A = this chain, B = another copy of it.
Amino acid sequence: MNLHAIKNDRIENTTLWKAMPKVVEEFATVALIASGTQGEVARSVALALTETSVRGVDSHGIRLLLHYAKVVKTGRINREPRISIKQTGRGTAIVDADNGFGHHASFFAIDRILELAQETGIAAVAVINSSHFGAAGCYVLRAAEKGYVALGVCNSDSFVLLHNGLHPFHGTNPLAFAAPVPGSRPFLVDMATSVIPWNRVQDLMNEGLPLPADASVDSNGEPVLDPAQSAALLPLGGPHYGYKGAALAGIAEVLSAVLTGMPFCSRLLSMAGPDLSTHRRLGHFFIVLDPRCFISQQCYDDGIVAYLHDLREQASRPGTRVMAPGDREWSVEEERKRDGIPFRPQLKMDLDDLADRLGIDPLQYL
């Protein structure tokens, strides 16, 4: 497994099974509806999963369909949520997801605060009573594609040590940020505030490979290289500078749990269960900014293009290149939009099983 593959837990493109994005999105929509999800909600979830797979973030892509199709049946997810919004200031709102899928509530929330920001220049929304929303990048991208700069955070259940800590406390608490780039896909940051994502541990275990050093600890809080012994992750910055990663996780926690009144990391029900019937009451938090309230569109466009140009022109270590945030994702997107989304054999089998259980047509591969 090379570093390129490791970075985003991305499936190697040499796999045998591939399907085109539109076909994957339709399959996911049908599977979610067959699992009891409302049509409009199913379309939001399927869109988020497919777009995420297309960007190569396979950990948060179509593989999550298996999980979602399960938890919408077990009662964790409200199948027929009545999403509501309350505007609380000229630029602020609270969206109540009514314990439905977080993806749908988050797209809804972003679209609403983009309207508020037309008047205020900046707007924020707290999403309450929500659930797992997939990749945080989906929602800031929605804003960037409409010309806005956006920031989004969410917390998650405990997987990550505090700096100097022995046991998991924070989740991998993602931080996402996007800004439009004229004539190109957006500047996109979508990162866990841990050294590596939890999914990496599972992937390396499946591949029989060791963990990278300084990324994970066992149940006694001791550094570990064997994925099977891994009990928690270190915060970004590792053993010496992990107070920075823990602080970033804390920012996500303050915005997405404290400001929303939802449970914080260590009080969240585990995503993996065993309880799959109780609502998890996740919170999310998004901010959108209109660049034109700070600078003319032309100057913004010139500025971000010049910055990214200078960045990409930087000399790099032999055999590597420097990239702007999102460059890797957009390169994978181009490839996968053209050639299809790859599926590992196990995922293909699991999706075939799902289709069989739901009585729907299986996903059509190329």
A interface residue numbers (CB < 8 A to B): 7, 88-92, 94, 117, 119-124, 126, 149, 162-167, 169, 177, 179, 187, 189, 191, 195-196, 212, 221, 236-238, 240-241, 243-248, 250-251, 253-255, 257-261, 264, 266-267, 287, 289-291, 293-295, 299-300, 303-304, 306-307, 310-311, 314-317, 320-325
Inter-subunit contact A179/B241 (CB<8 Å) = no
Q: Which of chain B's residues has its CB closest to A6's CB? A: B240
Inter-subunit contact B94/A317 (CB<8 Å) = no
Q: Which of chain B's residues has its CB closest to A213's CB? A: B240
In the bound complex, residues from chain B placing their C-beta under 8 Å from that of A123 are 91, 122
Give the CA-CA distance A249 to B289 in the complex, in Å. 18
Instruction: Quickly give the copy total for this chain.
Output: 2
In the bound complex, residues from chain B placing their C-beta under 8 Å from that of A187 are 250, 254
Q: Which of chain B's residues has its CB closest to A164's CB? A: B320
Q: Which 4 A-B pairs have the closest CB atoms?
A: A89-B121, A92-B121, A164-B320, A91-B120
In the bound complex, residues from chain B placing their C-beta under 8 Å from that of A236 are 236-237, 241, 244-245
Inter-subunit contact A149/B254 (CB<8 Å) = yes
Give A10 Cβ to nearest chain B Cβ, in Å: 14
Q: Determine which of B149, B189, B253 lies in contact with A259 in the assembled complex, contact meaning CB atoms within 8 Å.
A: B149
Give the CA-CA distance A150 to B191 in the complex, in Å. 21
Give the CA-CA distance A145 to B255 in the complex, in Å. 17
Chain A to chain B contacts (Cβ below 8 Å), 29 pairs: A90-B91, A91-B91, A91-B123, A92-B122, A92-B294, A122-B123, A122-B124, A124-B294, A126-B294, A162-B314, A164-B321, A165-B315, A166-B316, A169-B311, A177-B254, A187-B250, A189-B248, A191-B247, A221-B315, A243-B323, A243-B325, A246-B325, A248-B248, A253-B307, A254-B304, A258-B300, A259-B295, A259-B300, A264-B306
Give the CA-CA distance A289 to B237 in the complex, in Å. 28
In the bound complex, residues from chain B placing their C-beta under 8 Å from that of A315 are 165-167, 221
In the bound complex, residues from chain B placing their C-beta under 8 Å from that of A324 are 250
Q: Which of chain B's residues has its CB closest to A251's CB? A: B177
Q: Determine which of B240, B243, B290, B306 lies in contact with A92 in the assembled complex, contact meaning CB atoms within 8 Å.
A: B290
Give the CA-CA distance A258 to B289 in the complex, in Å. 13
Give A76 Cβ to nearest chain B Cβ, in Å: 23
Give A258 Cβ to nearest chain B Cβ, in Å: 4
Q: Determine which of B7, B90, B240, B316 lies in contact with A119 in the assembled complex, contact meaning CB atoms within 8 Å.
A: B90
Give the CA-CA distance A287 to B117 in the complex, in Å. 14
Q: Which of A122, A163, A167, A317 lies at the interface centre, i.e. has the most chain B CB atoms within 10 A of its CB? A: A122
Give A345 Cβ to nearest chain B Cβ, in Å: 29
Inter-subunit contact A261/B303 (CB<8 Å) = yes
Give A149 Cβ to nearest chain B Cβ, in Å: 7
Give the CA-CA distance A122 to B90 in the complex, in Å. 8
Inter-subunit contact B121/A317 (CB<8 Å) = no
